[in-house]
Structure 1
Amino acid sequence: MKIAVIGGTGLIGSQVVEILNSAGHEAVPHSQSTGADVISGAGLDAAVAGADVVVNLTNSPTFDAASPAFFRTSMEQLLEAARKAGVGHFVILSIVGVDQVPELDYYRAKTLQEEDLEAGGIPYSIVRATQFMEFVDAVLSWTADDDTVRLPATPIQPIAAGDVAQSVADVAAGAPLNGVRHVAGPEVFPLDELGRITLAHASDGRTVVTDPAAGMFGAVQGDVLTNTNAQLAPTRYSDWLARRG
């Protein structure tokens, strides 16, 4: 099976390509660096030519009010190229609870991306994943100073990027879901507690202060970013931290 992985050189995309090729598929990575521009459309027809499946793993360069325009334009360009090429399956990666946090521009943008795919006329699959373990350090940095890190107690169910990539690859190699598969890490933590665990592992002496309004996740209500009924990935956060060193 030939699979065009758009955004195939990034954190998830590069692993998806490796997994699919190891399984005997022909997975080809495409990105702006290879000449595939999802905003202008340049190089997209060539990128998807002959592909049975398109996996779109591109991401907005910002999380702000500019992100909806990125996802709307990129999906329009990719769907048009895929329709012309006769692609039979289109896959995107989204976020667990994405349609439950309208206060966040980026989440609204990802919801629009899902809606565009559903209306795009191509058999499709959406993989919704929980928050990546690899992004926890960045989340801490948003509200940190020399002495403290301010975090809300928002429930988070962290998943390793490698487990996300495996789920995306499995879906891409299968029949279209024409729906959503939810994947999540095996454990749920309050974000402030996850911050304490992360800092302790790094022997970082800063104090985590619980602040319900701190950072992007302060806008999240309840436990909408978790899903214990999802397909649970195997990697626990403590094991991921130990491997990272």
Structure 2
Amino acid sequence: MKLAVIGGTGLIGARVVKDLDAAGHEAVPHGKSTGIDVVSGQGVDEAVAGVDVVVNLTNSPTFDEASLAFFRTSMDNLLAAAQRGGVRHFVVLSIVGVDQVPELDYYRAKALQEEILKSGPIPYSIVRATQFMEFVDAVMSWTAEGETVRLPATPIQPIAAKDVAAAVAEVAVGEPLMGVRNVGGPEILPLDELGRITLSHRADGRTVVTDPTAGMFAAVRGDVLTDPNARLAPTRYTEWLD
């Protein structure tokens, strides 16, 4: 099977390409470094022409309101090119609970991306994942001040990037779901406790202070955890830290 992995040089994309190639498929990575621009449309027709599956792992350069325009334009360009190229299956990676947090511009943008895909001309699959373990450091950096890191106690179900990639690759070579598959990590931890575990493991002397108003996840009022029908990944957070 031939697949075009748009955003195939990033954190998840590179792993998806590796997994697909290892399974005997032909996965071609595309991104800005290979001459593809999903906003202007440059190189998109060439990237998806003649492939069986498009896996869209591109991401907005910002998490603010501008992300809505990014996903609207990029999806319109990719879907139109996929239809012209005879693509049979279109896969996107989204976020568990993305439709439950309208307070966040980025979550609204990802929900818009899903809606555009669902109403588009190509059979589709959506893989929704919980928050990546690889992003914990970034989350802590947003509210770090000197020797203190402020974090809310928002429940988080962290998943390793390698497990997300495996889930995306599995869906990509299957029949279109015409729906959503949820994947998440094997344990649920309050974000502030996740911060404490991280700092302790690294012998980092900073202190985590529980602050319900701190950072992006302070705005989360809906449920961003998996449902009982979700696929749970094997990697636990402390195993990933090791």
Which TM-score bucket, shorter chain as reference? over 0.9
Distance 2:142 2:44 in 1: 35
Question: CA–CA distance in 2 between the matches of 1:4 and 1:180?
Answer: 20
Percent of counterpart pairs with the same letter? 75
Aligned to 1:84: 84
Q: Which amino acid aligns with 1:81?
A: A
d(CA) in 1 for partners of 2:206, 2:23: 44
TM-score using structure 1 length: 0.97
CA distance in 2, matches of 1:221, 1:238: 27
What SS does the aligned partner of 2:140 have? helix
CA distance in 1, matches of 2:201, 2:235: 17
Structure 2 match to 1:128:
128
What do residues 172-191 of structure 1 show as CA deviations (whole Å, max 9, x unaligned)?
A: 01000000000000000000
Which residue pairs with 2:216 in the alignment? 216
User: Structure 1 CA distance, aligned partners of 2:107 and 2:97?
Assistant: 9
Deviates more, 1:204-213 or 1:179-188: 204-213
For residues 173-213 of structure 1, the C-alpha deviation after alignment (integer angstroms, 9 at most, x for no partner) is 10000000000000000000000000101111111111111
The alignment partner of 2:16 has SS state of helix
Residues 184 and 228 of structure 1 are in contact (CA less than 8 Å); yes or no, is this contact kept in structure 2? no
Corresponding position of 1:60: 60
Query: For the residues of structure 1 that align with 2:72 and 2:198, how far apart are their CA atoms?
Result: 35
Alignment TM-score, normalising by the size of structure 2: 0.99
* One-letter code aligned to 1:144: A
CA shift for structure 1 position 228: 4.8
| Aligned match of 1:227 | 226
The alignment's C-alpha RMSD in Å is: 0.7
Contact map agreement 1:147 1:206 (CA 8 A) in 2? yes
Q: C-alpha displacement at 1:138, in angstroms?
A: 0.4
Consecutive unaligned residues in structure 1, runs of 5 or more: none
Give deviations 1:127-182, integer Å, cap 9, x for gaps: 00000000000000000011111000000000000000000000001000000000
Q: How does 1:47-196 map to 2 (within 5 A)?
A: 47-196=47-196
Answer yes or no: is the 8 Å Cα contact 1:90–1:124 preserved in 2: yes
Unaligned runs of 5+ in 2: none
**Partner letter of residue 140 of structure 1?**
M
Q: Secondary structure at the match of 2:72?
A: helix
The Cα of 1:65 is off from its aligned counterpart by 1.1
Secondary structure of 2:144's match? coil
